[in-house]
Protein backbone atom coordinates (compact mmCIF):
# COMPACT_ATOMS: atom_id res chain seq x y z
CA UNK A 1 0.00 0.00 0.00
CA UNK A 2 1.25 3.49 -0.86
CA UNK A 3 0.85 5.73 2.17
CA UNK A 4 3.28 8.53 1.35
CA UNK A 5 4.75 10.27 -1.68
CA UNK A 6 8.14 11.96 -1.77
CA UNK A 7 9.28 14.55 -4.29
CA UNK A 8 12.64 15.53 -5.62
CA UNK A 9 12.85 19.32 -5.93
CA UNK A 10 15.20 20.32 -8.75
CA UNK A 11 13.53 19.87 -12.16
CA UNK A 12 10.61 18.17 -10.43
CA UNK A 13 9.09 20.87 -8.22
CA UNK A 14 11.54 23.69 -9.01
CA UNK A 15 12.21 24.46 -12.67
CA UNK A 16 16.00 24.56 -12.43
CA UNK A 17 17.64 27.45 -14.28
CA UNK A 18 14.33 29.19 -15.00
CA UNK A 19 15.91 32.01 -12.98
CA UNK A 20 18.59 32.53 -15.64
CA UNK A 21 16.25 34.54 -17.88
CA UNK A 22 15.42 36.71 -14.87
CA UNK A 23 19.11 37.29 -14.28
CA UNK A 24 19.58 38.32 -17.91
CA UNK A 25 16.63 40.72 -17.68
CA UNK A 26 18.15 42.25 -14.54
CA UNK A 27 21.54 42.66 -16.24
CA UNK A 28 23.20 40.09 -13.98
CA UNK A 29 25.65 37.35 -14.98
CA UNK A 30 24.61 33.70 -15.04
CA UNK A 31 24.76 31.79 -11.77
CA UNK A 32 27.81 29.89 -13.02
CA UNK A 33 29.70 33.12 -13.65
CA UNK A 34 28.31 35.01 -10.63
CA UNK A 35 29.51 32.36 -8.18
CA UNK A 36 33.03 32.53 -9.52
CA UNK A 37 33.04 36.31 -9.52
CA UNK A 38 31.97 36.38 -5.87
CA UNK A 39 34.83 34.06 -4.94
CA UNK A 40 37.35 35.99 -7.06
CA UNK A 41 36.33 39.27 -5.41
CA UNK A 42 36.61 37.81 -1.89
CA UNK A 43 40.08 36.37 -2.42
CA UNK A 44 41.36 39.44 -4.27
CA UNK A 45 40.15 41.79 -1.55
CA UNK A 46 41.59 39.53 1.14
CA UNK A 47 44.98 38.62 -0.33
CA UNK A 48 45.21 40.16 -3.82
CA UNK A 49 45.05 36.68 -5.35
CA UNK A 50 44.80 36.91 -9.14
CA UNK A 51 41.31 36.34 -10.50
CA UNK A 52 42.53 33.71 -12.98
CA UNK A 53 44.02 31.66 -10.15
CA UNK A 54 40.76 31.82 -8.21
CA UNK A 55 38.71 30.77 -11.23
CA UNK A 56 41.01 27.82 -11.93
CA UNK A 57 40.86 26.74 -8.28
CA UNK A 58 37.08 27.12 -8.29
CA UNK A 59 36.74 24.81 -11.30
CA UNK A 60 38.97 22.25 -9.58
CA UNK A 61 36.87 22.46 -6.42
CA UNK A 62 33.68 21.96 -8.45
CA UNK A 63 35.13 18.87 -10.12
CA UNK A 64 36.02 17.45 -6.71
CA UNK A 65 32.51 18.22 -5.44
CA UNK A 66 30.95 16.37 -8.38
CA UNK A 67 33.17 13.34 -7.79
CA UNK A 68 32.25 13.13 -4.10
CA UNK A 69 28.57 13.72 -4.89
CA UNK A 70 28.33 11.00 -7.51
CA UNK A 71 30.74 8.44 -6.07
CA UNK A 72 30.30 8.84 -2.30
CA UNK A 73 26.72 10.20 -2.22
CA UNK A 74 27.70 13.25 -0.19
CA UNK A 75 27.08 16.89 -1.10
CA UNK A 76 29.59 19.23 0.52
CA UNK A 77 28.00 22.24 2.14
CA UNK A 78 28.90 25.62 0.65
CA UNK A 79 31.09 26.29 3.70
CA UNK A 80 32.94 23.04 3.02
CA UNK A 81 33.39 24.04 -0.62
CA UNK A 82 34.93 27.35 0.39
CA UNK A 83 37.25 25.53 2.81
CA UNK A 84 38.43 23.35 -0.10
CA UNK A 85 38.93 26.49 -2.20
CA UNK A 86 40.94 28.13 0.61
CA UNK A 87 43.17 25.09 0.84
CA UNK A 88 43.74 25.04 -2.90
CA UNK A 89 44.66 28.73 -2.96
CA UNK A 90 46.76 28.54 0.21
CA UNK A 91 44.84 31.35 1.89
CA UNK A 92 42.20 31.32 4.61
CA UNK A 93 39.64 34.10 4.44
CA UNK A 94 38.76 36.10 7.52
CA UNK A 95 35.71 34.50 9.23
CA UNK A 96 33.38 37.41 8.38
CA UNK A 97 34.54 37.46 4.74
CA UNK A 98 34.00 33.70 4.45
CA UNK A 99 30.56 33.99 6.05
CA UNK A 100 29.47 36.71 3.59
CA UNK A 101 30.70 34.65 0.66
CA UNK A 102 28.94 31.50 1.86
CA UNK A 103 25.66 33.37 2.43
CA UNK A 104 25.81 35.03 -0.99
CA UNK A 105 26.34 31.67 -2.69
CA UNK A 106 23.65 29.92 -0.65
CA UNK A 107 21.00 32.60 -1.13
CA UNK A 108 21.52 33.31 -4.83
CA UNK A 109 18.46 31.26 -5.80
CA UNK A 110 16.35 33.04 -3.20
CA UNK A 111 17.42 36.56 -4.22
CA UNK A 112 16.42 35.72 -7.82
CA UNK A 113 14.28 32.62 -7.51
CA UNK A 114 13.57 29.95 -10.13
CA UNK A 115 9.93 29.19 -10.91
CA UNK A 116 7.81 26.23 -9.82
CA UNK A 117 7.17 23.62 -12.48
CA UNK A 118 3.75 24.41 -14.02
CA UNK A 119 0.88 22.57 -12.37
CA UNK A 120 2.77 21.48 -9.26
CA UNK A 121 0.60 23.44 -6.82
CA UNK A 122 -2.62 21.83 -8.04
CA UNK A 123 -1.07 18.36 -7.96
CA UNK A 124 0.23 18.81 -4.42
CA UNK A 125 -3.14 20.12 -3.27
CA UNK A 126 -4.84 17.06 -4.76
CA UNK A 127 -2.38 14.50 -3.41
CA UNK A 128 -2.02 16.02 0.07
CA UNK A 129 -5.65 15.20 0.76
CA UNK A 130 -4.97 11.49 0.23
CA UNK A 131 -1.30 10.87 1.06
CA UNK A 132 1.39 12.19 3.36
CA UNK A 133 3.91 14.14 1.28
CA UNK A 134 7.63 14.62 1.76
CA UNK A 135 10.66 16.21 0.09
CA UNK A 136 13.84 14.25 -0.66
CA UNK A 137 16.30 16.61 -2.32
CA UNK A 138 20.01 17.08 -2.75
CA UNK A 139 21.26 20.52 -1.74
CA UNK A 140 23.82 21.64 -4.30
CA UNK A 141 24.18 25.36 -3.51
CA UNK A 142 20.87 26.18 -1.87
CA UNK A 143 20.83 24.45 1.55
CA UNK A 144 17.76 23.05 3.26
CA UNK A 145 16.99 26.36 4.98
CA UNK A 146 16.84 28.14 1.60
CA UNK A 147 14.87 25.37 -0.08
CA UNK A 148 12.29 25.55 2.71
CA UNK A 149 12.18 29.31 2.16
CA UNK A 150 11.65 28.80 -1.59
CA UNK A 151 8.75 26.41 -0.90
CA UNK A 152 7.26 28.94 1.53
CA UNK A 153 7.64 31.77 -0.99
CA UNK A 154 5.59 29.82 -3.52
CA UNK A 155 2.94 28.55 -1.10
CA UNK A 156 4.05 24.92 -1.38
CA UNK A 157 5.66 24.15 1.97
CA UNK A 158 2.27 23.66 3.62
CA UNK A 159 1.69 20.42 1.69
CA UNK A 160 4.75 18.58 3.02
CA UNK A 161 5.09 16.69 6.29
CA UNK A 162 8.73 15.62 6.08
CA UNK A 163 11.96 17.01 4.61
CA UNK A 164 15.27 15.35 3.80
CA UNK A 165 17.95 17.68 2.43
CA UNK A 166 21.40 16.29 1.81
CA UNK A 167 23.19 19.06 3.74
CA UNK A 168 21.13 18.15 6.82
CA UNK A 169 21.05 14.36 6.47
CA UNK A 170 24.76 14.15 5.66
CA UNK A 171 24.27 11.90 2.63
CA UNK A 172 22.72 12.49 -0.78
CA UNK A 173 20.48 10.47 -3.07
CA UNK A 174 20.37 7.59 -3.76
CA UNK A 175 21.63 6.78 -0.24
CA UNK A 176 18.99 5.03 1.83
CA UNK A 177 19.24 7.49 4.71
CA UNK A 178 17.68 10.24 2.58
CA UNK A 179 14.47 8.28 2.07
CA UNK A 180 14.52 6.70 5.54
CA UNK A 181 14.70 10.17 7.12
CA UNK A 182 11.36 11.19 5.59
CA UNK A 183 9.79 7.81 6.37
CA UNK A 184 10.70 8.30 10.03
CA UNK A 185 9.41 11.88 10.09
CA UNK A 186 5.99 11.05 8.69
CA UNK A 187 5.58 7.67 10.37
CA UNK A 188 5.51 5.16 7.52
CA UNK A 189 7.71 2.28 6.43
CA UNK A 190 10.11 3.11 3.61
CA UNK A 191 8.48 0.53 1.31
CA UNK A 192 5.13 2.30 1.77
CA UNK A 193 6.46 5.38 -0.06
CA UNK A 194 6.49 6.32 -3.73
CA UNK A 195 9.14 8.74 -5.00
CA UNK A 196 8.93 11.18 -7.92
CA UNK A 197 11.98 12.69 -9.58
CA UNK A 198 13.72 13.42 -12.87
CA UNK A 199 16.90 11.29 -12.65
CA UNK A 200 16.71 7.53 -13.14
CA UNK A 201 19.78 6.69 -11.05
CA UNK A 202 18.95 8.86 -8.05
CA UNK A 203 15.17 9.08 -8.14
CA UNK A 204 14.12 5.72 -9.58
CA UNK A 205 16.69 2.97 -9.12
CA UNK A 206 17.70 4.34 -5.71
CA UNK A 207 14.25 4.17 -4.08
CA UNK A 208 13.32 0.98 -5.95
CA UNK A 209 16.30 -0.73 -4.30
CA UNK A 210 14.64 -0.06 -0.93
CA UNK A 211 11.26 -1.50 -1.94
CA UNK A 212 9.68 1.80 -2.98
CA UNK A 213 7.75 2.56 -6.15
CA UNK A 214 9.11 5.37 -8.34
CA UNK A 215 7.86 7.69 -11.09
CA UNK A 216 10.24 9.37 -13.54
CA UNK A 217 9.12 12.99 -14.04
CA UNK A 218 10.01 14.35 -17.49
CA UNK A 219 8.32 17.76 -17.78
CA UNK A 220 11.58 19.70 -17.59
CA UNK A 221 14.24 16.98 -18.06
CA UNK A 222 13.66 13.81 -20.07
CA UNK A 223 17.19 12.48 -20.65
CA UNK A 224 16.47 9.18 -18.85
CA UNK A 225 13.05 8.51 -20.39
CA UNK A 226 14.13 5.73 -22.76
CA UNK A 227 16.19 3.74 -20.24
CA UNK A 228 14.32 4.15 -16.97
CA UNK A 229 13.14 1.29 -14.78
CA UNK A 230 10.42 3.50 -13.29
CA UNK A 231 6.99 2.13 -12.45
CA UNK A 232 5.62 4.93 -14.62
CA UNK A 233 6.73 8.02 -16.54
CA UNK A 234 4.91 11.34 -16.02
CA UNK A 235 5.27 14.23 -18.44
CA UNK A 236 3.02 16.78 -16.74
CA UNK A 237 1.48 17.35 -13.34
CA UNK A 238 -2.09 17.16 -14.62
CA UNK A 239 -1.50 13.43 -15.23
CA UNK A 240 0.24 12.66 -11.93
CA UNK A 241 -2.74 11.88 -9.61
CA UNK A 242 -4.16 9.41 -12.13
CA UNK A 243 -0.77 7.72 -12.61
CA UNK A 244 -0.37 7.31 -8.87
CA UNK A 245 -3.86 5.88 -8.57
CA UNK A 246 -3.07 3.29 -11.23
CA UNK A 247 0.17 2.27 -9.51
CA UNK A 248 -1.63 2.02 -6.17
CA UNK A 249 -4.38 -0.11 -7.71
CA UNK A 250 -1.83 -2.57 -9.09
> What pLDDT digit, counting tens, does each position of 28-81 carry?
999 999 999 999 999 999 999 999 999 999 999 999 999 999 999 999 999 999
pLDDT over 90 at 242, yes or no: yes
**Cβ–Cβ < 8 Å for 204, 229:** yes
Distance from chain centroid for Cα 161: 17
Please tell me whether residues 241 and 177 are part of one structural domain.
Answer: yes
CATH (domain of 178):
3.40.50.1000
Please tell me whether residues 60 and 91 are part of one structural domain.
Answer: yes
Count other C-beta atoms under 10 Å from residue 71's C-beta.
8
Please tell me whether residues 227 and 155 are part of one structural domain.
Answer: yes
Please tell me whether residues 12 and 84 are part of one structural domain.
Answer: no
Strand order in the sheet with 162-165: 162-165, 132-137, 4-7, 193-197, 213-217, 232-234
Please tell me whether residues 132 and 210 are part of one structural domain.
Answer: yes
Please tell me whether residues 85 and 139 are part of one structural domain.
Answer: no
Give the whole-angstrom CA distance, residue 248 versus residue 134.
Answer: 18
Count up the domains in the chain and report the number.
Answer: 2
pLDDT digits (tens, 9 = 90+) for 172-194: 999 999 999 999 999 999 999 99
Please tell me whether residues 63 and 96 are part of one structural domain.
Answer: yes
Q: Which of 95, 111, 127 is the last residue of a domain?
A: 111
Report residue 17: phi and psi, to 5°.
70, 5
Report residue 14: phi and psi, to 5°.
-100, 130
Average pLDDT over every residue of 96-103: 98
Q: Which of 51, 86, 111 is the last residue of a domain?
A: 111
Domain that holds residue 95: 20-111
Single out the residue of 108, 99, 175 nearest to residue 143, CA to CA. 108
Report residue 204: phi and psi, to 5°.
-120, -65
pLDDT digits (tens, 9 = 90+) for 193-212: 999 999 999 999 999 999 99
pLDDT at residue 237, rounded to an integer: 98
Average pLDDT over every residue of 105-134: 97
pLDDT over 90 at 166, yes or no: yes
pTM: 0.95
Q: What is the DSSP string of 37-68?
A: HHHHHHHHHHH---HHHHHHHHHHHHHHHHHH
Average pLDDT over every residue of 225-247: 97
Please tell me whether residues 58 and 8 are part of one structural domain.
Answer: no
Give the whole-angstrom CA distance, residue 107 versus residue 55.
Answer: 20
Amino acid sequence: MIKAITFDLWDTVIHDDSDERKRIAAGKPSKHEARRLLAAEAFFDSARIDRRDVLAAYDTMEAAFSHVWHEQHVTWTVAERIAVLEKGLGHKLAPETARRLVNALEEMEIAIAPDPVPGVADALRNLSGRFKLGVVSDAIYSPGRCLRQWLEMHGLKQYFHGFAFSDEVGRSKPHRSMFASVADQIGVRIEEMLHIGDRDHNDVKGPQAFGMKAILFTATRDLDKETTSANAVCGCYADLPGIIDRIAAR
